[in-house]
Structure 1
Amino acid sequence: MPDGPLDLGLVLGPLRRGPADPTFRATADGSVWRTSRTPTGPGTLRVGTYGGEVFSEAWGPGAEWLLDRLPELLGAADAPDVFVPRHRVVALAQHRRPGLRLTCTGRVLESLIPSVLEQKVTTDEAYRAWRLLVGRFGEPAPGPAGAGDRPMWVMPAPRTWALIPSWEWHRAGVDDKRASTILRAVRVAGRLEQTVEMAPAEAQARLEVVPGVGPWTSAEVVQRSHGAPDAVTVGDLHLPGIVGWALAGDRHADDAVMLRLLEPYAGQRHRAARLILLSGKVPARRAPKMPRMDIGTL
């Protein structure tokens, strides 16, 4: 397991797609439950900490795989000690969040599909689509998480995604462009899952061969699947302004300015951006939120 402080919420939080994500749940005792479609089948993992020790349980055909991969999931392969803050705001955020580590799931599609759903729409719309599609076409989570009033679900298998009718995508609020991107991705699911054996930059290049997957989406994937510390997200609506404001007082920064400001963190730009987001130093909102998209007009 990772040495030093460990904050489960910070480490595993990026895997949660909204408060009602059917594949992720945080409970009052501090435990995190998550489901995954592993190479050996669906599984449910429960992980928590007590007295500085990590405890875990797993259920389903994928249980052994999930337990074997637990150290990497909790950031054991991460190296936060090599990070050197170059700005006061980053240094303070790192000091206040010593339990931050970058998770590494070792699975690609479970991050790729929800990231595609988040393209060019509000997060609420994307979270709703993920919740509806997983709940309708996934399968109940193995173990106790799959029962009760709020059962958890395992995301659909690639073939199941490929067979979802067009009207079900529309019912979930997913336009044809995003649905088509997901359909193209699941047809080459095996090739995409193989990218976990590649360096993050090489993995991004292979992901971007799929039409509809660009640098924004591929970065969002390898941040989770690979624990990639340098995979900074470009093409985001808000991140450049947040980074620009925190590091230079420039709320109108674009991607080029953001990348220039993050140059001192080469090799660790994603970690630096996460710390900036955790610092809470964001510009006051002046523009309205992105409007909800009506796919009926597309």
Structure 2
Amino acid sequence: MKKKKLLTLVPIFLTISLFLSGCVQRTKSGKPYGIIYDHLAIPTQHIIDWLSNLLGGNGNSYGWAIIAITFIVRLVLMPVMLSQSKKATIQQEKMSSIRPQLAKIQKRQKEAQTQEEKAAVSQDMMALYKQNNISMTGGIGCLPLLIQMPIFAALYAAIQYSDLLSKSSFYGINLGHRSFTFVVLTFLIYALQGWLSLQGIPEEQKKQMSSMMIASPVMLAVMTYIAPAGLGLYFFVGGIFACLQTLLINRMRPQIKKRIEKEMKKNPPKEITPTVPTNKKATITSTSNEHAKKMHANNRKRNSGKQKRN
């Protein structure tokens, strides 16, 4: 399960990186063009210019304009993000109810030696999740991140290809250049968010989620490293909203836990019958046939002995 979550994040991270770095071309004179630039970057530049003027038009106004955009985007996405976080929390609580069965399957998984045995264990694990209505990915969805991809691309292109934006600064940080300050801040804020998400859950689940706690901040820090500081500012402020969102979910967790416990009392976790690997079935069948043949031979010997006596 832990590996599945990591495998879900990696392709998304690579897709965003390619999406940000491509799709904008330049003419021989150096003028940018393309779908991303024409339909996303230019409108975004106009919005940032308008917000900058609205916020005073001083040296730091472009940074505050990016913060305002982040606030609007996060506010719009907040219901979706809270809904997904709530689903993930429900899945975590449900996991606690099947933990004894899961421990047995994991033990069999470690002891499995043949491909047939490994396939049988995987089949049992999938059946356990399915019959108890538990998501294999833990309820974590990628929709909020996918929705933000056009915004990432728009901000990246708007800052990268606008002379005014690329030369602007925010409290001494050039928004058009790479900023190690925002790389560090982004890593720290998402590490804090990961730590907050581990509060109030069982120790066993904490161990399983620890790798996610490291992977997510590292990936976002790398994205901040390859992007201009303006986009790094967007990531950092977004991380602050992510922390607030996690605090809200943590306050809701006791209520969710009580509700899941009531549901589990009414509908106890369904137990599954372990699948017998194909090779073991063949061995059992072969042993049974041999036993039957021996029994048949013994019966024939007894019958022939009786006939001789008669």
Give the structure-2-normalised TM-score: 0.22
Greater strand fraction, Structure 1 or Structure 2: 1
Greater helix fraction, Structure 1 or Structure 2: 2
Give the structure-1-normalised TM-score: 0.23
> Relative contact order: is structure 1 or structure 2 higher (C-alpha 8 Å, sep ≥ 6)?
2
Larger Rg: 2
